[in-house]
Structure 1
Amino acid sequence: MNWASRKETTMAVIVGASTSIPLRRRNRNALAAGIWLVFLAYAVMSLQSSHLPPWRIALGWMGLAIFALFYLALFWWHVDGLELWYTKHQVRASAIVGQIMLVVLCALLALVRPKVAASVLAYPIAFAVFQMPEVALGITLAIEVVGMAVLVWVTPSLMAWAIGSAISVAVVTVVGVLERAACRGQLARQAEQDVLTRLEERQRVASDVHDLLGQTLTVMAMKAQLVERLIGTDPDAARAQAVEL
């Protein structure tokens, strides 16, 4: 494997976010991500039907609010994650930290009420599949499977919630994989179009240079003929033409 191929397969972590993305696109991306907040209905129902102390229910509501806002903020801030990955094989450090924070928030919600945590497992998957490299999706899936298995082992009554969570995760994953394929195809077509545009520009410049060179050579030939005619009758004019030539 040569150096170029190793470079293409190496994931580079960068710092910062793109400032050239229009605000409208950021808002649209966050709005599209917010559609998945419909799955929070299960978490809301779990808190509503629980017999937990009021302070613990309030903590659960606060945790859900923070989780939802943080989730939307990630999609708003990292709107070009897939483009960055497929075009440059780069991922932002803030996206990695954000993904870790989503998983940590899920774990904290499990301390409040395991059913609530089971209801929000689709969101780290959504961010991973829509904005992160494939390895992030695989790691997130593995962590959630292990975490859900532990919760079901400790509390067998969570089996029904685990099945519902698995269904929501599967739906988000399938939709995300299709979106990734569409994004990859669009970027490939855009790259091909950029290559064609550059080739057309090169051909235009080459044509202009060819036309200019041909015109210049024609003028030079005419002046050379004029020098030849004037050299015997008007040496000064012939000298002036020779200087211009």
Structure 2
Amino acid sequence: MAPAPSETPGRRGFRAGWVFAAIWLFYLGGNLGALVRHPPGMWRTVGLLALALFALTYILLVATMRRPRDVPGGYPGPELRVWLGLLTLLALALLQLPAAGESILTCAVYISAAAVMGLPLRHGLGVAVTVAIAVEAAIRFVPGWRASSQGYALAVVLAAAATWGMRLAFERQGRLIQAQNELAELAVADERSRIAGDLHDILGHSLTVVAVKAELAQRLLDVDLDRARAELRDLESLARDALADVRATALNMRGISLPGEIAAARAALAAANVEARLPGAADDVPTRNRELFAWTIREAVTNIVRHSRARHAEVRLSPDSVEIVDDGQGGDPAPGGGQGLAGLRRRADELGAHLIAGSRQNEPGFRVRVEVPS
């Protein structure tokens, strides 16, 4: 008989709440039977009308208990509304008394369950205890009720206990949903930070070079027109490459960029206490080679951090090749699946590039080199 909060705010949640509440109204059949058996008259009519309003009020009260009060994002609505609803239920139950007699004690179970579910827990339990005491007192002191009304007080206590358990379950579910939402927000924030970092890596150096080359070209216009044209061509190529990297990062979201991988390699090697020599820029690398070179740096640096036990590493970058060497223990690292050397070799083959991976000649350590035909 315990009410349940609706699943989601709005129309769907309201519908789910009143359907759940209506299921338990069959226990009011005893009240209905007692009223129907009562001789026709004013109190019978008042009792039947009060019973119908009691059922309607209970459904509306439970259906509006959408959120738990004790956790953010929980139920119910304002506390005053719940108190007014409980007082209305009590008044409608008492209006049935002249015609229904002790059968109105069934209403106490509904009032107790609604109080425990809708009010702050301390107040709800207090109402349930008060109702149980009142029911037990009525059974003992109202003439003619003791023999036929045994068990109502116990039913009130059991309904309150069951509702309490359901409420705790709903509150735990609310906390879980809240935690999931917070994790989702953190994931979004992390993703935004990652994209912002990639864009910074891509644009930071490129825009600086663009500014320098534009200034140089402007100065050369009156001195060396051919060199000024060459600088402008380089400027155009650099701008197009930077734009391609930005598009890959912004549209693919999980795209990989060469400047970003150089920056990531610097951070990873520093974290592994590996002294690294890395290129300061990737402006000379054509757009068609950048993704492959970025994957090469990522895989080679990953192997250095995981397997090599190296103390020094170097990334050598040119327009047609990238080479990563270290002074570690050498030997082939463990296969890495799709993102390992096998996957890297497949990527190189797709572009007609040549991959060399193995121990360095005459020096300790491991070498990964990718060459792209000119």
Q: Check the 8 A contact 1:39/1:120 in 2, yes or no.
A: no
Q: Does 1:87 align with 2:94?
A: no
Distance 1:148 1:22, change over 3 A: same
Partner of 1:174: 161
Partner of 2:12: 24
Q: TM-score, normalised by structure 1?
A: 0.74
Partner of 1:46: 34
Give, in whole Å, the separation in 2 of the partners of 1:81 and 1:192.
16
Q: Does 1:188 align with 2:169?
A: no
Distance 1:79 1:184, change over 3 A: same
Deviations 1:188-216 (CA, angstroms, capped at 9, x unpaired) = 11111111111111111111111111122
Q: Does 1:226 align with 2:213?
A: yes
Q: Which structure 2 residues correspond to residues 138-217 of structure 1 after superposition, within 5 A?
A: 138-217=125-204
1:222 Cα shift?
Answer: 2.6
Q: Secondary structure at the match of 1:120?
A: helix
1:160 Cα shift?
Answer: 4.2
Q: Secondary structure at the match of 1:180?
A: helix
Structure 2 stretches lacking a partner, 5+ long: 1-7, 236-374
Segment drifting more, 201-210 vs 157-166: 157-166
Deviations 1:18-77 (CA, angstroms, capped at 9, x unpaired) = xx9332321221111112112112212333455x5633222222221121111112223x
- Amino acid in the other structure paired with 1:27: R
Deviations 1:142-179 (CA, angstroms, capped at 9, x unpaired) = 33234324422432432245433234324422332232
Partner of 2:117: 130
Give, in whole Å, the separation in 2 of the partners of 1:81 and 1:159.
39
Higher RCO (C-alpha under 8 Å, 6+ residues apart): 1
Give, in whole Å, the separation in 2 of the partners of 1:200 and 1:235.
53
1:221 Cα shift?
Answer: 4.2
**Percent identity of the aligned residues?**
19
Partner of 1:69: 56
Segment drifting more, 55-64 vs 160-169: 160-169
Q: Secondary structure at the match of 1:198?
A: helix
Give, in whole Å, the separation in 2 of the partners of 1:163 and 1:79.
31
Q: Check the 8 A contact 1:86/1:184 in 2, yes or no.
A: yes
- Bigger strand fraction: 2
- Amino acid in the other structure paired with 2:71: Y
1:118 Cα shift?
Answer: 1.0
Give, in whole Å, the separation in 1 of the partners of 2:147 and 2:97.
16
Partner of 2:25: 37
Q: Secondary structure at the match of 1:158?
A: coil
Deviations 1:54-105 (CA, angstroms, capped at 9, x unpaired) = 33222222221121111112223x13142x4432687512222112211222
Segment drifting more, 98-107 vs 191-200: 98-107
Q: Check the 8 A contact 1:148/1:162 in 2, yes or no.
A: no
Deviations 1:82-141 (CA, angstroms, capped at 9, x unpaired) = 2x4432687512222112211222233334443132121111122223333213322322
Q: Check the 8 A contact 2:108/2:131 in 1, yes or no.
A: yes
- Bigger helix fraction: 1
**CA RMSD in angstroms, aligned pairs only:** 3.3
Distance 1:107 1:147, change over 3 A: farther
- Amino acid in the other structure paired with 2:123: A
Distance 1:212 1:155, change over 3 A: same
Distance 1:81 1:127, change over 3 A: farther
Q: TM-score, normalised by structure 2?
A: 0.51
